Chains A and B, each alone.
Chain A
Amino acid sequence: MGNVIGIGASPKRKEDQRFLTGRGNYVSDIKRPGMTAGVFVRSPHGHAILRGIDKGAALASPGVIAVLTGEDVAADKLGSLPCGWGISDAKGVPMKEPPFPMLAQGKVRFVGDMVAFVVAETPEQANAAAELMTVNYEVLPSVVGVLEAVRPGAPQLFDDVPNNICCDWELGDKAAVETAFRKAVHVAKLSLVNNRLIGNPMEPRAAIAEYEPGTDRFTLWTTSQFPHVVRFLMGALVLNIPQHKLRVVAPDVGGGFGVKQFHYGEEAVITWAAKRVMRPIKWVASRSEGYVSDRHGRDHVTEAELALDETGKFLAFRVNTLANMGGYLSTFGPNIPTNLYGPLLGGVYTTPAIYCNVKVVFTNTVPVDAYRGAGRPEATFVLERIVDVAAAEMGIDRVEIRRRNMIPKEAYPYQTPVLVQYDSGDPMGCLDGALVAADVKNFGIRKADSARRGKFRGLGYSTYVEACGLAPSRFAGRLGARGGLYESATVRVHPTGQVTVMIGTHNHGQGHETTFAQIVSEKLGVSFENVDIVFGDTDRVQFGMGTYGSRSLVVGGAALSKATDKVVAKGKKIAAHLLEAAEVDIQFEAGKFSVAGTDRMKTFEEIAGAAYVPHDYPLEVLEPGLEEQAYYDPVNFTYPGGCHIAEVEVDPETGTVTLVDYTAVDDVGTVINPMIVEGQLHGGIVQGVGQALYENAVYDEGSGQLLSGSLMDYCMPRADHMPMMKIATHSTLCTHTPMGVKGCGEVGTIGSPAAVINAVVDALSHLGVTHVDMPATPNRIWRLLQNASLPVAAE
């Protein structure tokens, strides 16, 4: 027994000691003997035919060891970068899946597409040589927007993908929706853009690869959220390296947000090249390189229609979306705007009929894939915006129209018309809590005060639900997943009772080393300090699908919980033998195995010692040792949700929107560490506010140049953009995860954009403004006001 810090406590994060004292171990901190430097030569054109690459000058440059191109990749018969999901259209025709070579072959399809890899003794020499590469491009017109890409006559990225449409996907009962629309008393319509985002983790991507001829083994250190998946995708499908000959290590990683949950061509190229040059190679992306190679997020153009009856009840919802995939299919690309989007269009409402069509479109832009929230912020934004539009058009209060359509708490489990079944939830409870926390009843006073200062004040609601904890393999398999989505954990109890956990999720800022230690501390009654969490190394951790989709606690934590249960079960058997009692009479509580109704007991440490020093041990029925493993594959997604309320003030003179207050009341199920949950909410909300007000990846149509290619032009949200946030939980317990947890990593990003934009529209509604596209920049707001129905007084 010692210092148990269990579920519900908020200890300071264990990992912060090393992060805050500069002792983290990131890929770029790692140095290997004889290490060389690699630099990628990237296309400066959005769309071009490769007419030839002259390596001569680069090869002759000082310190250069190798220059590799797509021709070398083809000669070595290496695989294409795989897509982990295959979707199909309504007739079951599979998506178009053109090859994604790790170095471009024949054509380049976005600015940043890799055409060559230069290896030299130093980064300076590699950079200098890369500048000497002569690449003969026949430049073609680029197409960067989805609307433009599907127009007849648009530049075609692939010969066998007509109109650049990868897949024409649909979900829902189209006929039922059409019937319901015919009966509607009111139909609200909304056209919107979900802006393209760039993840910007603090640590740029990086990799080191090394080949050991003595053991014929490769090691790849990479900034990844899922090293085991990289080992599988790269080893089995791209480079043909047997799994037991490939170690992938993702050490400390400085933020991911989805950007690092894909298998990137850079990883494959550097691993392949390491054997060719027989030296370790390191590549570290610059921030600028990240802008044109890290997978982007969002980028939808959507038309939505909501059918309502005379009381404001939703009868049917119809959504048509064009989703940008960029130049190639990334690891999860086609799954995001389809399977993680359509099924969320029911929201927290009882809408009986929903139909969604998504055209997944190739363009001359960086491939688009999952970014924090991944499909669900897009769905929430469409739904929560059109609910406000409908309320305004029908003259119904925005809160009231939500109440009239909300799924009541007692109706759970609730089957939606778009595949998913919510196990639990209380959206009305979250709404009620948020209305109080946000002091909505005094909003009028605050609005009048703003008006006296010449400012417009607005309030915006977002009552949302999301699906996370990805997971369930069986369900995902039906939707086209080409892998499983379970998680694994091994609990290794040492002879002295300390515990090392090997887990397949990856900690890159989420606080797993703390949260998971709390679970073990609680369940085994061991000191919080006596638990270490190991992750991110395929040689140390049995297996894992990694961290994304708010799955770590929901799926990984559940595996860990199951593994600790197995440890306790085995401990009981050992205790029964040592205490000469029947196993059924052994109780385990607070780190002690005792015989029920007696004072005979053994501590957890004593049982661990007996397991490893089995002098007196039931060897005939039990193996020595105390180490257990569990794999967990849940039966359903989890469905966190909640109510977010944003309050903004608009300066009509400049168009500046200031977020002045923010309230979030979320249902995330059981909370293990409230401090970490609050931190996840803070970060998630700020990212959503970034999308709503600041962030926008802008490409130039025609040339395909990224115009917002640096932090000077791509506006990240900053501390001074944010008010103090009011964060609370109103949790119902998940009915199918072992601890009732639901996940909290993405809720902030999913709930917040709609709340903020609804507040901006509310602030401007008296001028006839009915919609504002994201980001609501000063320039955009000012222009809306120029076109608005009332003139704006200049102070």
Chain B
Amino acid sequence: MKPFAYHQPGRIPDAAKLLTSIEDSKLVAGGMTLIPTLKQRLASPPALIDLSRLENLKGITDDGATVTIGAMTPHAVVAASKLVQAKIPGLAALASMIGDPAVRIRGTIGGSVANNDPAADYPAGVLGLGATVVTSTREIAADGFFRGLFETALEPGEIITAIRFPVPFKAGYAKFKAPASRYALVGVFVAKFADGVRVAVTGAGSGVFRVPPMEEALSQNFDPSAIAAIRIDTDGLTSDIHAEADYRAHLVTVMAKRAVDAALS
């Protein structure tokens, strides 16, 4: 690890100011991706801006129609939240499947969403539920937030403060874990709302994406059988030493069916 300056601001505007004034500085939330990167000397930001002292970034609230999770809320808290379990059990289940216990205790929802790892779990939940990413400056709809491999709509100096999830009728997540990393080789989140069904896939490509044919089919009939015959195209899907694109495409269908099963159970 190379030397860096360390800042621990108490207010969001202070954090945003540091972020814009120190070129190449990085925000650190749980640090579950950033710290290993620093240890391997693959990144050497001049300064880290630790978000852990910022007020009002932790915790979960609801207003009946939505559940809002503070950006610095760890995965383990979301997984164990009675509120999330009651309102969006599929999201609590997703949080319980991230990484391992150490990662779930340190890692945060804001960090995961901002990082937008192509195999992370939360992007599937955020996109699948059509959530709103609340930042220090504005609100961004999930459909416009994720821009592919580690890219998001966040502007320089913009900090995620919370994610606001609409409460669905039903939702479920099914994840096929990569054997070694236990990231999603393929993860599928499905959510049923009054105006239709959303299906979001992580792990299969360079970033989280929706599957309109499955959404249409499930909107007609929210049952695994409705999508059993739908195969997604392998174009744009990842091939690596763990899985070729056609296997990932197959797993999308299998995991989508299992996500529907989970939502129905």
Contact = CB atoms under 8 A, between A and B. Distances in A.
B250 A782 contact: yes
A26 B224 CA distance: 54
Given A124-B2, A127-B41, A794-B228, A654 B176 contact: yes
B214 to A, nearest CB: 14
A35 interface: no
Contacts of B180: 694, 708, 711-716
A653 B40 CA distance: 37
A743 B40 CA distance: 40
Contacts of A131: 41
A contact residues, range: 20 to 34
B244 A779 contact: yes
Nearest to B181: A712
Contacts of B3: 124
B179 A653 contact: no
B179 A694 contact: yes
A795 interface: yes
A654 B254 contact: yes
A715 B241 CA distance: 11
Contacts of A794: 228, 253-254
A621 B250 CA distance: 85
A137 to B, nearest CB: 20
A779 B242 contact: yes
B18 to A, nearest CB: 24
B242 A653 contact: no
A209 B258 CA distance: 57
Nearest to B250: A782
Query: Number of contact residues on B: which range applies?
Result: 20 to 34
Interface string A697-725: 01000000001100111111000000000
Nearest to A130: B41
B243 interface: yes
A131 B3 CA distance: 15
A779 B246 CA distance: 10
Contacts of A694: 179-180
B251 interface: yes
Contact of B179 (A286, A698, A715, A782): A715
A655 B242 CA distance: 13
B26 interface: no
A713 B242 contact: yes
Interface in B235-263: 241-244, 247, 250-251, 253-254, 257
B57 to A, nearest CB: 29
Interface in B188-216: none
Contact of A698 (B40, B41, B241, B244): B241
A777 interface: yes
A170 to B, nearest CB: 34
Contacts of A714: 180
Interface centre among B244, B247, B251 (most CB of A within 10 A): B247
Interface-centre pick from B40, B224, B243, B257 (highest chain A CB count, 10 A): B243
Contact of B251 (A124, A654, A707, A795): A654
Of B3, B176, B250, chain A has the most CB atoms within 10 Å of the CB of: B250
A795 B224 contact: yes
A795 B257 contact: yes
Interface in A210-227: none
A777 B250 contact: no
Contacts of B250: 782
A713 B241 contact: yes
B131 to A, nearest CB: 28
A282 B241 CA distance: 35
Contacts of A708: 180, 241
B153 to A, nearest CB: 27
Interface string A392-405: 00000000000000
A128 interface: yes
A127 B253 CA distance: 47
A128 B2 contact: yes
A654 B249 CA distance: 11
Contacts of B254: 653-654, 794
Contact of B247 (A128, A696, A716, A782): A782
A710 B251 CA distance: 25
Contacts of B179: 694, 715, 777-778
Nearest to B183: A712
A783 interface: yes
Contacts of B181: 711-713
Contacts of A787: none
A779 B249 CA distance: 12
B234 to A, nearest CB: 13
B244 to A, nearest CB: 7
Interface string B133-147: 000000000000000
Contacts of B241: 696, 698, 707-708, 713
Interface string A778-790: 1100110000000
Given A694-B179, A777-B242, 19 more contacts: A124-B1, A124-B2, A288-B40, A653-B254, A655-B247, A694-B180, A698-B241, A708-B241, A712-B180, A712-B181, A713-B180, A713-B181, A713-B242, A779-B242, A782-B250, A783-B247, A794-B228, A794-B253, A795-B257
6 contacts: A694-B180, A696-B241, A698-B241, A777-B179, A779-B247, A782-B250
Q: Which 3 A-B residue pairings sit nearest by Cβ, starting from the closest?
A: A715-B180, A715-B179, A712-B181
